[in-house]
Amino acid sequence: MLISGFDSVLSDLDGVVYAGPNAIDDAVESLNTLAEVNVTLAFITNNAGRSPMSVAAHLRQLGVKTSAEQVFGSADAGAEMLARELNPGSKVLVVGSPYLRECIAVRGLEVVETHKDEPVAVIQGFDPDISWTNLAEASYAINNGAAWVATNTDLTIPRAEGLAPGNGSLVNAVKLATSVEPRVAGKPESYLFARAADRLDSQRPLVVGDRLDTDILGGFRAGFSTVLVLTGVDTPRTALGAPVEQRPNYLINSLADLYRPYPTIKVLGYGVQVGDAVAKVDHGAIEVTGSDQDLNAWRAACHAWWLAHPRQSRHEEPEIRFTERGLDALRKVRG
């Protein structure tokens, strides 16, 4: 089974474990089964407004057996980055949630509210109550030489009403006012993943996520294997066109697939074969012998395209054509 090659799972939350208030099908049972196969579990979240205790309590309500020690968030990671570099008692301007302020304070740093206090650093995380004044104070401090850490740079956040501006959108406002790039503690940077793996003493982590630009990219940058689970944002089609750093090692329909054998990918003279599906690149398009309802057909298409474009640096979705002629017919055509 796929999970047998790994000693830990570093899992995203929204789109992998739950969608809105409800658990995703197969997620709870699959996560709880990890302990039975001696695989440790951690949750990696960019949410800088909720404490690990709050996240763990939510997960337990859904039936996941977990604790706050298994939750690694960008607020703690950002505060830890600063605490490692600054002297105790250093002044930090916090633009974010009460929990982010707590993360700074418990690490022996002084929380301040204005650039007039001459902070040596600024940390910025999402909070729905952030105002123009808060962003302006951050800009003044950064322009005066303060170091700047962003907990995460997600441009959007899902809400019941739809997508809303995320921390990345607010970070961009400060970037425009300062011409400075922040260091990022959360996904897609590697720090949060490396921190979790270190705490778990994991040698073979598997990063599980539903987003290419945060989960998969972050896992890649950390040097870990990645799996895209198709229960959230990204799809086989978006994975197909992903740049190199966002290409997952595995594509699965749900977390239950962690306990199934992953199909062998065969590179043959007439194309890439996965299961009964075969894909080949022809004149800039992909021809797939198989059904677009079969994940193996998409796996074959991805690997055929990725082999043909090993240095792709931006997202580019190629034309793809599916035919259900069967392998025997294709082999006959190819001689």
Residues carrying an active site annotation: 12, 14
For residues 18 and 62, the answer to whether their CB atoms sit within 8 Å is yes
Spatial strand order in the sheet of 183-184: 110-112, 91-95, 121-124, 147-150, 183-184
Alpha-carbon Rg of the chain, whole angstroms?
Answer: 22
Query: Could you give the CA distance from residue 148 to residue 272 in angstroms, rounded to a whole number?
Result: 46
For 119-133, the DSSP string reads -SEEEE---TT--HH
Helix orientation angle between 74-85 and 191-200, rounded to the nearest 10 degrees = 90
Record the tokens describing residue 161, joined without a space: 């009403």
CA 133 centroid distance within chain: 31
The answer to whether residues 156 and 125 touch, using CB atoms and an 8 Å cutoff, is no
Burial (CB count <10 Å: 0-12, 13-18, 19+), residue 232: buried
CB 265 within 8 A of CB 299: yes
**Whole-number Å distance between alpha carbons of 37 and 112:** 47
Residue 142 CB-half CA count within 13 A:
26
Q: How far is CA 64 from CA 50, 67, 224, in A?
A: 18, 9, 24
| Helix (H/G/I), strand (E/B), else coil: 251 | strand
